[in-house]
């Protein structure tokens, strides 16, 4: 049985960034203890219904998990280890905001076995970071990256976002350059999502002037930034392994890859998502509420759904293609049968012709152009129009 990944969301932030479209926010400190209490209950009940009880990755995402007081870290990890067997080689990641990681918290993390930290840097240009409500400067971020590695956290990730207010091609290259000069071994390169779910996105859509929306680079400029990130990082010795993820020295995130390889993971906390498999092998997805008050008041699972064979096949395509290694036709045939895969041949050929896909060594991969238009590609792998 495949070991599980465990995702725990910690929705607390010191301030809400303008681009943020997550279920996180600023809440009273008293909520943290209640929250960890609720998580402990969930860990116990989840341990009873998950088929595998070994974990090979734990990921605390946010929000800003580094805001949890040291003793709550200790409590949380004690419960995790009480309920699950955490493998010796498990990847244990905590997301932190630069400048918001006190020494005693870092110490507690190390004692809990945390071996990977992900920093939400977003930009090494102070004006850009400030404009979106980030509370740190380049100096603070660089100091933190060094500090955690010196303290013994070997693996460190930095997030960068292309498409922030005030960003230019030049300032973007500067951020990338600074990134390359650090010792971090992993980087996530995101593009600003302009949609109704964030304050900044909404403002851009409505043509408003708040949150420095008028200085947000155009979609086309962001596309260029993405391509230049791929180029810059490649020439600095990084390997891209997923649409948004890059690693040095093979330091790919095990947890991250679980999502794309459809390996089982359990998500706990507010707005967390799970994929488990039934005894018969069928994938089951479910989620928790995205409302913190609701979460604290009543434990409940939402959107529980056993995937059909067809949905699993669709996911195998639109998740698997996100990885640079692509989708292995042989593996797919083994899982779904030759006929099911043959049905996609004409779509694949068309996309190969359009230069969005390439085929190499029996696997289908996105081209760099295809990555930028990946939603256009993925859509073609949906067999049905709508699922219930």
Partner 1 sequence: MDSKLIRNFAIIAHIDHGKSTLSDRLLELTGALTAREMQAQVLDAMDLERERGITIKAHAVRMMYPAKDGQTYQLNLIDTPGHVDFSYEVSRSLASCEGALLVVDASQGVEAQTLANAYLAINHGLEIIPVINKIDLPSADIPRTREMVEQTVGLDGNDAIPVSAKTGQGVPDILEAIVHRLPPPKGDPGAPLQALIFDSWFDAYRGVIVLARVVNGTLRKGAKIRLMSNGRVFNVESMGVLTPKPVEINELSAGEVGFFVATIKNVSDTKIGDTVTEDDRPADAPLPGFEDIKPMVFAGLYTVDSHEHTLLRDALEKLRLNDSSFFFEPESSAALGFGFRCGFLGLLHMEIIQERLEREFNLDLITTAPSVRYKVTMTDGTLLEVDNPSRWPDPSEIEQVEEPIITATILTNEEYVGGILKLVEEKRGRQKNFEYVSPTRVMLTYELPLNEIVLDFYDRLKSVSRGYASLDYHLSGTWISPMVKMDILVSGEPVDALSIIVHRDHAYERGRALVSKMRELIPRQQFEVAIQAAIGAKIVARETVSALRKNVLAKCYGGDISRKRKLLEKQKEGKKRMKRIGKVDIPQEAFLAVLKVGEESSR
Q: What single DSSP character describes residue 50?
A: -
Q: How many Å apart are CA 65 and CA 10, to the nearest integer?
A: 5
Could you say which residues in the range 50-69 bind partner 1, by CB under 8 A?
61
Strands, DSSP E only, in 25-84?
Answer: 54-62
* Binding of partner 1 by 31 (CB under 8 A): no
CB-nearer residue toward partner 1: 171 or 256: 256
Q: How many Å apart are CA 91 and CA 76, to the nearest integer?
A: 16
Phi-psi category of residue 269: left, alpha or beta, with phi > 0 → left and psi -120 to 50 → alpha: left
Nearest-approach distance from CB 111 to partner 1, in angstroms: 25
**194, 161 in Cβ contact below 8 A?**
no
Q: How many Å apart are CA 327 and CA 330, to the nearest integer?
A: 9
Nearest-approach distance from CB 1 to partner 1, in angstroms: 19
Site string for partner 1, 155-194 (x = CB under 8 A): ----------------------------------xxx-x-
* Binding of partner 1 by 371 (CB under 8 A): yes
By CB under 8 A, the count of residues binding partner 1 is 47
**Among residues 30, 220, 235, 388, the one that binds partner 1 under rule CB under 8 A:** 220
Residue 316: enclosing H or E segment and its boundaries? helix 309-320
* Binding of partner 1 by 4 (CB under 8 A): no
Question: Do strands 4-10 and 265-268 pair parallel, antiparallel, or not at all (unpaired)?
Answer: parallel
Sign of CA dihedral 286, 289, 292, 295: negative
**Among residues 3, 267, 320, 326, the one that binds partner 1 under rule CB under 8 A:** 267
Nearest-approach distance from CB 126 to partner 1, in angstroms: 23
Task: Name the residues that contact partner 1, by CB under 8 A.
Answer: 7, 9, 22, 61, 189-191, 193, 219-220, 222-224, 226, 243-244, 258-259, 265, 267, 271-275, 285, 287, 303, 305, 314-315, 318-319, 354, 356, 371-376, 378-379, 382, 385-387
């Amino acid at each position: 049985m495949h070991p599980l990944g465990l995702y725990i969301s910690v929705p607390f932030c010191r301030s809400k960034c303008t681009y943020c479209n997550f279920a996180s926010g600023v809440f009273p400190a008293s909520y943290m203890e209640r929250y960890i209490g609720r998580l402990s209950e969930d860990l116990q009940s989840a341990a009873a219904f998950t088929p595998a009880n070994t974990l090979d990755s734990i990921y605390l995402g946010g929000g800003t998990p580094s805001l949890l007081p040291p003793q709550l870290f200790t409590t949380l990890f004690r419960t995790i280890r009480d309920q699950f067997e955490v493998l010796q080689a498990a990847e244990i990641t905590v997301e932190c905001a630069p400048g918001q990681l006190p020494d005693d918290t870092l110490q507690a993390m190390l004692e809990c076995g945390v071996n990977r930290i992900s920093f939400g840097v977003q930009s090494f240009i102070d004006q850009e970071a400030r404009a979106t409500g980030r509370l740190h400067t380049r100096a603070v971020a660089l100091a933190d990256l060094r500090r955690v590695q010196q303290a013994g956290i070997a693996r460190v990730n930095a997030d960068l976002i292309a498409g922030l207010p005030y960003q230019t091609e030049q300032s973007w290259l500067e951020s990338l350059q600074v990134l390359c000069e650090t010792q971090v071994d992993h980087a996530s390169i995101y593009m600003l999502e302009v949609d109704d779910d964030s304050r900044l996105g909404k403002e851009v859509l409505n043509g408003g002037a708040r949150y420095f929306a008028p200085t947000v680079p155009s979609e086309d400029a962001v596309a260029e930034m993405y391509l230049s990130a791929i180029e810059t990082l490649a020439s600095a010795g990084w390997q891209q392994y997923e649409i948004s993820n890059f690693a040095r020295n093979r330091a790919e995130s095990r947890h991250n890859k679980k999502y794309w390889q459809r390996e089982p993971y359990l998500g706990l906390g507010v707005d967390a998502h799970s994929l488990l498999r039934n005894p018969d092998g069928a994938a089951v997805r479910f989620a928790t509420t995205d409302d913190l008050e609701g979460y604290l008041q009543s434990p409940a699972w939402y959107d529980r759904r056993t995937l059909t064979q067809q949905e699993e096949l669709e996911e195998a395509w639109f998740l698997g293609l996100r990885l640079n290694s692509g989708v292995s036709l042989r593996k797919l045939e083994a899982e779904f049968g030759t006929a099911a895969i043959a049905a996609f041949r004409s779509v694949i050929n068309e996309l190969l012709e359009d230069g969005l896909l390439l085929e190499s060594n029996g696997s289908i991969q996105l081209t760099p152009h295809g990555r930028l238009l990946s939603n256009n590609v993925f859509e073609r792998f949906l067999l049905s129009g709508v699922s219930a």
